[in-house]
Amino acid sequence: PKDGPVLLDSIDPHVPEHIRLNHTNKLIVHGYGGSIDFNATKMIRKAYLRKPNTNVFIVDWGKLSRLPCYPTAAFNTKQAGECTATFLIGLQANHPEFSTRDLHAIGFSLGAHVLSFTSNALEKSIGVKFRRITGLDPALPFFATARPHWKLDQGDADFVDVIHTNAGVYGKIETCGHVDFYMNGGQNQPGCENDQNPMACSHHRAPDYYAESIRSLTGFWGWSCQSYVYYLLGFCPQNNAQVIAGEDCPTGTEGMFMITTNPASPFAIGRCDIDQWGKLDSSFNNVDHFPTPYSQDPNHQGSQGGEDDEWPYFNHVGTSDLTKEHIRKILEQDKSRYSGDASFRFINDPAAPLALNKSYDPTLPTKFVIHGWKNSIVSPVSQNIKNSYLRREDMNVIVVDWGPLASDTLYFRAASSTRDVGRHVGGLIDRMVAERGTNLNDLHIIGHSLGAHTSGFAGQSIRSGKAARVTGLDPALPGFTDQQPDKLLDPSDAQFVDVMHTCAGMLGHDRNLGHVDFWPNGGRVNQPGCGGIDDFVGACSHGRSYEFYAESVTRPAAFKAYPCRSAEEYREAKCRSNSIPMGDATPNTARGNHFLET
């Protein structure tokens, strides 16, 4: 109401007589770290209150979604949703003119999933569910592979419309509703590139766009696209099949739509103007129109009849058609980046003699270091581990630079390239064995995040035997939820596979992937020294894995880990014996789960 908010009892709510519940009713649910006083949906509430005959209900579950414990907030969405259902049932019982069924529910981030639980609880208790739910960039962490009843989906209302603004990072990338709108590609929003936290800024654009849509005369108009893969390939030019997103989205709309916006408010730019041919001259999504080297043949094999790739199909070029010319083009995109203190740089051209420098000594141990998304040869993960080894002893350290692919803003496209990068590394190792006498028993591959799975694929690809060891440092979770061993890092990739988890369930994988798995500080966010906005989705905790590992190289006894059945048992001191070192000094006989504190 205009005279200020009214606090209603959550079980037996009674609304003041001057509030007409037979008007339009809106329910808004904030996300992680929000409250009625501080939340990203504040502008939505203000916009609705400027409309006549509109009531706005705000669900304040701030005590259950407090910073810095995101995992707790994520699991509390179920409780918040069921409590909201109890409130609505009570409201309808006390005020027969109020219709829970006709309530339009809007949820941001975790709040979108809260509404899923609310609608499911309503249907179970009184046999009705919402007519419409609007999801604003529904949260991804802990909801990446959730079953339908544990996330927002089409079954939660007669009509579910979803706006994606940070897909694959803070928000879900797959379609969640009857209609899904991907703003500016759905991941990185214009105007956020110079923000202190561009990803959080992009995530919060969803409620900003929606709030503007409530009163905008211009509107956010999107054009249809068959799938997100088609978008990545540049197969979704603007067309005349346009639909408005936000408050005025027509119920009954189905499909996927792409929308572009201005970088600052007012964000809406209206309908797209299409020329008479229905074409655009440029690639609106900045996807190059040449074949990518990370793909699967549509017939599930290379043109030479190679083995089934079983990897997401991105274009018509098969994996076994990966050419040396294309590899060279990728690796030579920016030679200026190789100006560090590395002894030498070489490109592995299968058609040319092996370019290893004479300083390479096959009688010494050989380490491969493989970075992850948005990293390169000069990134801390590459340099810290390399420098720690070279400070300790004389050995061969080869840092794999797949930066031109890993730097792709579209995370899932970078993820899809890990298999081919791994095969390229495996092919190099086979050449080193054949041409330089490298001993696989002295070969160790270390990878962080996406690089951990790349390391596994490299191990799988070695034809001359098995590498002695593969170490996975917080292997990436998004894009690698498949349970089949050949789709991600697993114990068969080397004689010994050890894995360190520091952001499990968010950026890092949450299940056992090695012969031995280490879970420092429980393996999840927030790792000591991490927290707040910098660890909103675990970026700081994710990076702790390579920091721990780099330290372990020069301090082999620094991280004592104990075999336990669970983190709870470790915290209760039920398993504080038979410790082994975590990190470089981990013995290859280690098996099972080990826990420690740092």
DSSP string, 86-106: HHHHHHHHH-TT--STT-EEE
pLDDT (0 to 100) of residue 344? 65
Number of H helices, E strands in the chain: 14, 18
**Residue 309 is among the residues annotated as catalytic for this protein:** no
Cα separation, 538 vs 533, whole angstroms: 9
pLDDT (0 to 100) of residue 241? 81
**Residue 137 is among the residues annotated as catalytic for this protein:** no
pLDDT tens, the chain, 598 aa long: 556 678 888 888 888 888 888 889 999 999 998 877 666 788 998 899 888 889 999 999 989 998 888 899 999 999 999 999 999 999 999 999 999 999 999 999 999 999 999 999 999 999 999 999 999 999 998 887 657 678 999 999 999 999 999 998 999 988 999 999 999 999 899 999 888 889 999 999 999 999 999 989 899 999 999 887 777 767 788 877 899 999 999 998 999 999 999 999 999 998 876 543 333 332 222 223 233 333 223 233 333 334 433 333 233 333 334 334 444 444 444 343 333 344 567 777 777 888 888 788 999 999 999 999 989 888 999 999 999 999 999 999 999 999 888 988 778 888 889 999 999 999 999 999 999 999 999 999 999 999 999 999 999 999 999 999 999 999 999 889 877 888 899 999 999 999 999 999 888 999 999 999 999 999 998 899 887 655 556 888 999 999 999 999 999 999 999 999 998 899 888 899 999 999 999 999 999 999 999 9
Catalytic residue of the set 119, 416, 449, 455: 449
pLDDT (0 to 100) of residue 146? 57
Q: Is 81 left (phi over 0), alpha (psi -120 to 50) or beta?
A: alpha
Q: What's the length of the chain?
A: 598
pLDDT (0 to 100) of residue 233? 67
Backbone angles phi, psi at 256, to 5 degrees: -120, 135
Backbone angles phi, psi at 180, to 5 degrees: -125, 130
Beta strand segments in 219-374, E: 220-225, 242-245, 255-259, 366-370
8 Å CB contact between 59 and 28? yes
Instruction: Write the CA distances from 231 to 183, 228, 279, 284, integer angstroms.
Output: 12, 5, 15, 10
Q: Is the preceding peptide bond at 194 cis, omega within 30 degrees of 0? A: no
Catalytic residue of the set 453, 509, 542, 594: 542
Cα separation, 498 vs 361, whole angstroms: 26
The full set of domains in the chain, from first to last, is 24-259 (3.40.50.1820), 347-596 (3.40.50.1820)
**Residue 203 is among the residues annotated as catalytic for this protein:** no
Cα separation, 437 vs 296, whole angstroms: 33
8 Å CB contact between 482 and 451? no
In angstroms, how far apart are the furthest CA atoms of the chain? 87
Cβ within 8 Å of residue 285, ≥6 positions away: 185, 231, 232, 234, 236, 258
Q: Which residues pair with 224 in a beta bridge?
A: 257
Instruction: Write the CA distances from 3 to 13, 53, 533, integer angstroms.
Output: 19, 15, 34
Catalytic residue of the set 309, 474, 517, 535: 474
